[in-house]
């Protein structure tokens, strides 16, 4: 196979369409790790990104204006942007419904939160068909490698086949894959498993996720043989051969470390600490989501203050909650629970000159986020379950003086890589997490540095480029540098979301 072009497919396009101050719509390239790593591969090589533009954009502008905006965006990013339109009903049933109320909850081991509404499945199928159609119309069998991302788009390879389009396909699951006894509750378990087996390569974050997947395949697809061991194994089903690998995603370590050293970040980091003097700062940064374990964490912090009174006045927890899935009643309820707990704990422990929890409910600018990463002594990353958790890795990358301590849930994918340096905790164990907070609080400088150095070394070595290369090597036997540059293409300089723009 001579792949010369990459087509990335994800639920959301890798750009943000926003109204500028002057009321004009503008398009910006996203600034996440995936865009950073894949941007250059797509950019000078005529690549393609297929995804949904997000709610309200289509309605807010005419077809002509949108086409013009996307064409301009393509010139700036250097790759083609192919939007997939979703109706309001599709957004409700495919995105909020099947993807979030079923797959997100089930794959994070929270089946009691699942709403197995049969109406969701049909729409999930038809939206996946829409994405497959966009791929079939915009890619070629021989030269394109189609890389599909995440749980919203599991059926895409299957749908491509059903429409007779042969493509080289890979899939990467960013969230965990559940154990067999959780997965079998899914009313569409056979369809989902069979659809995953239609990709040429299926990638998971951790060995544990892949093991769960293989257990399900062994049990639900009789006659399957597993061949090989190591990072990528072969799964021989009665009808096809699929590569199955583990590829722990990472961050652009250098970009984070360099940015954390910049003066504007350093200045803000100093201001944050100067306003909260003579204490250690503990940082929590999470999207509002029940998988992130925020209430458990708040209980653990209160427990630490109760059982270790010497920590009072000497620590402040800065809990950032980034609004997400607004208007979903469950998320609203979670927000209220968090706010009630923050109020209760502050009401119970506050003393003159010291408020134990600083609660921020909004997204931070990049500079703010990096300043918090850099200035906080301790990061408290305690999801109940998480595919990887990039916040843990970003905190380490920004701990440029090697003095941060990471308290990390053993149920985050990142724990597999960072267990030598982090204090691993079971997020359900309130006293255990409280003890870890106390241990971090009391840890001497030398131990902190030794632990952080280990983690930084590991993340630096296994950064986002390492991740993409490992995936490409398994999927198409080449790496990033081997994608030929399209000579006819002269991209304009890329304008990404600036570091100061809100997330
Ligand atoms: C899924 C999986 C997996 C957060 N708050 C702000 C902000 N962020 C950025 C962080 C980080 C990203 O958001 C969050 O990444 P996570 O990995 O923690 O979580 P998910 O969004 O749930 O992502 C996860 C990931 O996919 C990748 O495979 O690790 O397990 O669930 O990059 O920096 N950025 C800014 N302001 C904020 O307030 N600017």
Q: Can 5-249+463-489 and 253-461 be said to share one CATH topology?
A: yes
- pLDDT score recorded for residue 488: 45
State the Cα–Cα distance between residues 413 and 496, nearest whole angstrom. 28
- Lowest-pLDDT range, 67-71, 99-103, 227-231? 67-71
**Per-residue pLDDT band at 67 (split at 50, 70, 90):** confident
**pLDDT-based confidence at residue 411 (cuts at 50, 70, 90):** very high
pLDDT tens digits along 277-294: 999 999 999 999 999 999
**Per-residue pLDDT at 28 exceeds 80:** no
Query: CA–CA distance from 351 to each of 187, 243, 347 (Å)?
Result: 53, 58, 9
How confident is the model at residue 493, as a pLDDT?
A: 40
Longest dimension (CA), the chain: 70
| pLDDT range class, residue 484, cuts 50, 70, 90 | low
Is the pLDDT at 499 greater than 50, yes or no? Answer: no
**Rounded-to-5 percentages of helix, strand, coil across the chain:** 50, 20, 35
CA distance 398 to 371: 9
Q: What is the pLDDT of residue 502?
A: 35
DSSP state of 502: B
**Residue ranges of the domains in the chain?**
5-249+463-489, 253-461
Mean pLDDT of all residues in 399-415:
97
Let me know if 402 is a catalytic residue: no
* Residue 285 CA, ligand 1 centroid: distance in Å: 9
Could you give the residue ranges of the DSSP H alpha helices within 317-384? 329-349, 366-375
Average pLDDT of the segment spanning 359-387: 96
**386 part of the active site:** yes
Question: Which of 184-193, 276-285, 319-328, 478-487 is predicted with the least confidence, judged by mean pLDDT?
Answer: 478-487
Cα 162 from Cα 182, distance rounded (Å): 28
For the segment 188-223, what is each residue's pLDDT rounded down to a tens digit?
A: 999 999 999 999 999 999 999 999 999 999 999 999
Angle, nearest 10°, between helix axes 445-461 and 390-398?
Answer: 120
CATH code of the domain occupying 5-249+463-489:
3.40.50.2000
Q: Ligand 1 pocket test: which of 390, 391, 393, 459 has the largest number of ligand atoms within 8 Å of its C-beta? A: 390
- Residue nearest atom 33 in ligand 1 by C-alpha distance: 391
Residue of 287, 293, 320, 385 to test ligand 1 pocket, by largest number of atoms within 8 Å of CB:
287
Portion of the chain with pLDDT greater than 70, in percent: 92
User: 495: pLDDT confidence band, cut at 50, 70 and 90?
Assistant: very low
Beta strands per DSSP E along 332-468:
357-361, 378-381, 405-409, 423-425
Residue with tokens 């994918």: 413
Looking at the domain that runs over 253-461, which CATH code has it been given?
Answer: 3.40.50.2000
This model's pTM is above 0.85: yes
pLDDT at 60 over 80: no
Nearest to 58 by CA among 90, 94, 92, 84: 84
Ligand 1, residues at Cβ distance < 6 Å: 174-175, 249, 285, 287, 320, 322, 363-364, 366, 369, 386-391, 394, 503
Atom of ligand 1 nearest to the CA of 363: 38
Whole-number Å distance, alpha carbon 33 to ligand 1 midpoint, is: 9
**What spacing in Å lies between the alpha carbon of 273 and ligand 1's midpoint?**
24
Q: Would residue 231 be called left, alpha or beta, if left means φ above 0 and alpha means ψ between -120 and 50 degrees?
A: alpha
Annotated active-site residue in 386, 435, 438, 466: 386
- Of 174, 296, 438, 466, the catalytic one is 174
Mean pLDDT of 65-73: 84
In the prediction, which pLDDT does 234 show? 95
Q: Residue 153's CB: how many other CB atoms inside 10 A?
A: 24
Cβ proximity of 378 and 369 under 8 Å: no
Which of 150, 365, 387, 496 gets mutated to test ligand 1 (max ligand atoms within 8 A of its CB)?
Answer: 387
In sequence order, what are the beta bridge partners of 234? 227, 243
pLDDT grade for 33, boundaries at 50, 70 and 90: low
Contacts of 411-414 with CB under 8 Å at 24 or more apart are 411/383, 411/384, 411/385, 411/386, 412/381, 412/383, 412/385, 412/386, 412/388, 413/176, 413/205, 413/206, 413/209, 413/248, 413/386, 413/387, 413/388, 413/389, 414/248, 414/381, 414/386, 414/388, 414/389, 414/390
Q: How far is the CA of 161 from the centre of ligand 1 (A)?
A: 33
Residue 235: the pLDDT is 95
What confidence tier does 494 reach under pLDDT thresholds 50, 70, 90? Answer: very low
Residue 500's pLDDT is: 36
Q: Over the chain, what is the mean pLDDT?
A: 91
Q: Which of 394, 496, 475 is nearest to 169 (CA)?
A: 475
pLDDT reported for residue 31: 60
Would you say 362 and 285 are in contact if contact means Cβ atoms under 8 Å apart? Answer: no
Mean pLDDT of 335-355: 97
- Does residue 46 register a pLDDT over 80? no
């Amino acid at each position: 196979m001579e792949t010369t072009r990459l087509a990335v497919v994800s639920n959301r396009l890798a750009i943000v369409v926003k109204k500028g101050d002057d009321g004009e719509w503008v398009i910006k390239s996203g600034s996440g790790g995936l865009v950073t790593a894949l941007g250059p591969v797509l950019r000078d090589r005529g690549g393609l990104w297929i995804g949904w533009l997000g709610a309200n954009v289509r309605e807010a502008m005419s077809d002509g204006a949108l086409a013009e905006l996307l064409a301009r965006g393509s010139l700036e990013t250097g790759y083609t942007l192919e939007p997939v339109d979703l109706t309001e009903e599709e957004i409700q049933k495919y995105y909020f419904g099947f993807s979030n109320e079923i797959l997100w909850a089930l794959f994070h081991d929270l089946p009691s939160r699942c709403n197995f509404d049969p109406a969701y499945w049909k729409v999930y199928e038809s939206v996946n068909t829409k994405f497959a159609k966009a791929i079939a119309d915009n890619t070629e069998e021989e030269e394109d490698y189609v890389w599909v991302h995440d749980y919203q788009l599991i059926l895409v390879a299957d749908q491509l086949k059903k429409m007779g389009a042969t493509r080289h396909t890979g899939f990467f699951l960013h969230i965990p894959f559940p154990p067999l006894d959780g997965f079998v509750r899914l009313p569409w378990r056979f369809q989902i498993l069979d659809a995953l087996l239609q990709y040429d390569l299926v990638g998971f974050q951790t060995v544990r996720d892949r093991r769960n997947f293989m257990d399900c395949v062994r049990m639900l697809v009789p006659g399957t043989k597993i061949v090989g061991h190591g990072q990528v194994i072969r799964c021989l089903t009665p009808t096809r051969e699929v590569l199955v690998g583990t590829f722990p995603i990472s961050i652009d370590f250098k970009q984070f470390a360099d940015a954390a050293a910049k003066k504007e970040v350093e200045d803000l980091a100093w201001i944050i600490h100067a306003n909260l003097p003579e204490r250690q700062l503990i940082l929590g940064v999470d999207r509002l989501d029940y998988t992130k374990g925020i209430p458990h964490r708040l209980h653990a912090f209160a427990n630490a203050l109760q059982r270790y009174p010497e920590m009072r006045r000497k620590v402040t927890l800065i809990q950032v909650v980034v609004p997400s899935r607004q208007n979903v009643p469950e998320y609203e309820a979670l927000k209220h629970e968090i706010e009630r707990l923050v109020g209760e704990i502050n009401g119970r422990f506050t003393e003159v000159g010291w408020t134990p929890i600083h609660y921020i409910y909004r997204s931070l600018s990049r500079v703010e986020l990096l300043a918090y990463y850099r200035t906080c002594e301790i990061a408290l990353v305690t999801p109940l379950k998480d595919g990887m958790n990039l916040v843990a890795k970003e905190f380490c990358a920004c701990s440029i003086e090697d003095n941060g301590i990471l308290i990390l849930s053993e149920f985050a994918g990142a724990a597999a890589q960072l267990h030598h340096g982090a204090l691993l905790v079971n997020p359900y164990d309130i006293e255990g997490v409280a003890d870890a907070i106390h241990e971090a609080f009391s840890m001497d400088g030398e131990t902190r540095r030794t632990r952080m150095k280990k983690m930084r070394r590991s993340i630096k070595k296994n950064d986002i480029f390492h991740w993409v290369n490992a995936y490409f090597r398994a999927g198409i036997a080449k790496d990033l540098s081997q994608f030929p540059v399209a000579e006819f293409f002269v991209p304009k300089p890329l304008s990404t979301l600036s570091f100061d723009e809100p997330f």
